[in-house]
Amino acid sequence: MKVYIKTYGCQMNENDSLYMMGILKERGYEIVDDLEVADIALINTCAVRKKAEEKFYGKLGEIQHLKKKKKIIIGVGGCFAEKERDKLLSKGVDFVFGTRSYSKVGNLVERALKGEKFSYFEDHIDEITSQTPRIVSSHHAWVTIIYGCDRFCSYCIVPYTRGREKSRPMDDILKEVRNLVEKGVREITFLGQNVDAYGKDLGDGTSLAKLLDISKNIEGLDRIWFLTSYPSDVTDELIDVVASNEKISKNFHLPVQAGSNRILERMRRRYTREEYLDLIYKIKNRVKNVSISTDIIVGFPGESEEDFEETEDLLKKVEFERVNLAIYSPREGTLAYKIYEDDVPHEEKVRRFQRLLELQKSINKKLNESYRGKTVRIIVEARSKNGLMYGRDIRNKIIAFEGSVDMIGKFADVKVNKITAGPLYGRLVWLEGSER
Ligand code: SAH
Ligand code: SF4
Ligand code: F3S
């Protein structure tokens, strides 16, 4: 039996899909990239914005079209499945399952193959452990350390689709990391919607700082990333651990969402613009050569031109290495959906989006200049569409160069000789395993 899995959304979903593939493979299923040959199609969905839902419906339409020609079972999991639940069963889906139910994917597929149409939302997240089969697709692996989110930002659907915060036991995480390293993994990213809330619910003093501090001693593990930090949960201990070890990434992804206190309040973010800036200055002072990235939402209900200008100003002050921009998308069930009118006109949202995009481009161009002529240590990651190889440095900066696929997974030194607002370009000067 052949299974095709399509994944939308964040790294969390990507990682969940890798477990599903592992579980199904162990049961004898074959994982295929080609939908046309599949007996079972699974879609792991996202619901963060309207667009994510539209993508899902596009894919569902494609599979249903195929279903007219051949027998194919359709299973839908992930965040949009949590949001819609049984409603999807009347839209041609055979089974729907939750974000904490995927360890059961083998049984669910079997039931569907017997002709059952059903939904399954029980919480079995504890079954995902270091012993769970998973696909290791490269020298990098995601490791989810905390599930869910307790923050309830007013615009966000994630707490409803992923449930309450729940940390995995540290011992088991470390076991998993060691297993991964044995399989050839050199880089890992610890994942959580609020990765810096890790351990709080365990009540035994466990924290992200402690986890990083122990992980750095794992032999064969060369780089450790962590994603996403909630600004007011970043502790001094965490900053110090990041500063103290060269294996730990010098990148903080700290979504600010907006630069105006009035909007932050309406978003129910639990920090002010001033507190956020203080945190940034503190990190920049303590962690040498650190890079900061962020997420911003434009056009939140009630965002005036002045509010927006405060966001622009914040971008200029912080000089982020990367900004993920999004246009506000009302999500049914959230507080903002209930109490605020989506009152910024669409054209205005687009204008603000473009303005921030342009501003960020000029900031990136300026920041990237500091790389000119420098030799940077990367781990080679993949070949890009234009044929060049690329990798990233410890600050998460992407550098492209002329090379070959057998370099993937190796350390390389690249001398930067061309700067753009996007990636940097350079010449390979050293590759791991070769003479200098
Ligand atoms: N846990 C992370 C991010 C989770 S969702 C955090 O605390 O920031 C990823 C990003 O999607 C968010 O940072 C936010 O910028 C964006 N987002 C979430 N809900 C949104 C909505 N309703 N409309 C537009 N963007 C949204
Ligand atoms: Fe959503 Fe806020 Fe939780 Fe991030 S912290 S997942 S934006 S509710
Ligand atoms: Fe999307 Fe769910 Fe991730 S809504 S962004 S897949 S947590």
Tens of pLDDT, residue by residue over 279-304, are 999 999 999 999 999 999 999 999 99
Domain CATH number, residue 334: 3.30.750.200
Per-residue pLDDT for 151 more than 80?
yes
- Alpha carbon nearest to ligand 2 atom 5, residue: 151
Three-class DSSP category at 75 = strand
- The verdict on 94 and 208 lying in the same domain is no
What confidence tier does 245 reach under pLDDT thresholds 50, 70, 90?
Answer: very high
156 DSSP assignment:
-
pLDDT of res. 308: 98
Other C-beta atoms lying within 10 Å of the C-beta of residue 54: 10
Average per-residue pLDDT in the chain?
97
**What mean pLDDT is predicted for residues 414-424?**
95
pLDDT at site 220:
97
Residue 131 in any domain: the answer is no
Q: Is the pLDDT of residue 275 over 90?
A: yes
At 59-97, the pLDDT tens digits run 999 999 999 999 999 999 999 999 999 999 999 999 999
pLDDT of 435 above 80: no
User: Using 50, 70 and 90 to split pLDDT, how confident is the model at 436?
Assistant: confident
Inform me whether the pLDDT recorded for 338 exceeds 90: yes
- Angstrom distance (rounded) from CA 345 to CA 301: 10
CATH number at residue 83: 3.40.50.12160
Number of domains in the chain: 4
pTM: 0.97
CATH code at 183?
3.30.750.210
pLDDT of residue 137: 86
Q: Among the three residues 185, 214, 249, which one is the final residue of a domain in this structure?
A: 249
Percent of the chain with pLDDT strictly greater than 70: 100
Regarding whether 257 and 226 lie in a shared domain, the answer is no
pLDDT of residue 401: 98
Q: Measuring from atom 11 of ligand 1, which residue has the nearest CA? A: 48
Whether residue 115 is found in the same domain as residue 11: yes
pLDDT for res 162: 98
Span from the CA of 194 to the centroid of ligand 2 (angstroms): 8
Residue 169 confidence (pLDDT) = 97
The domain in which residue 89 lies consists of: 2-126
CA dihedral 161, 162, 164, 167 (to 10 degrees): 180
Q: Check whether 235 has a pLDDT greater than 80.
A: yes
Q: Let me know whether 227 and 256 are in one domain.
A: no
What CA–CA distance (Å, rounded) separates 297 from 52?
16
Q: Which residue has the tokens 């059903």?
A: 118
How far CA 315 is from CA of 40, 47, 293, 329, in Å, comes to: 46, 27, 10, 22
182 and 258 in a single domain? The answer is no
Q: Which of 370, 385, 405 is the last residue of a domain?
A: 370
Domain boundary, last residue among 249, 267, 286: 249
pLDDT at 415 over 80: yes
Which H/E stretch holds residue 92?
none
The amino acid sitting at 36 is: E
Q: How far is CA 152 from CA 119, 332, 333, in A?
A: 26, 13, 11
How many A from CA of 40 to the centre of ligand 1? 31
What's the average model confidence in pLDDT over 248-274?
98
Same domain, 8 and 116: yes
Distance 141 CA to ligand 2 centre (A): 23
Residue 177 has pLDDT above 80, yes or no: yes
Neighbours of 70 (CB within 10 A): 10
Contact residues of ligand 3, CB 6 A cut-off: 9-10, 12-13, 46-48, 78-79, 157-158, 161-162
Residues 28-43: tens digit of each pLDDT: 999 999 999 999 999 9
pLDDT tens-place string over residues 363-413: 999 999 999 999 999 999 999 999 999 999 999 999 999 999 999 999 999
CA distances from 37 to 2, 66, 107 (A): 7, 10, 22
Is residue 109 pLDDT above 80, yes or no? yes
Ligand nearest to the CA of 11: 3
- Whether ligand 1 lies within 6 angstroms of the CB of 52 is answered as no
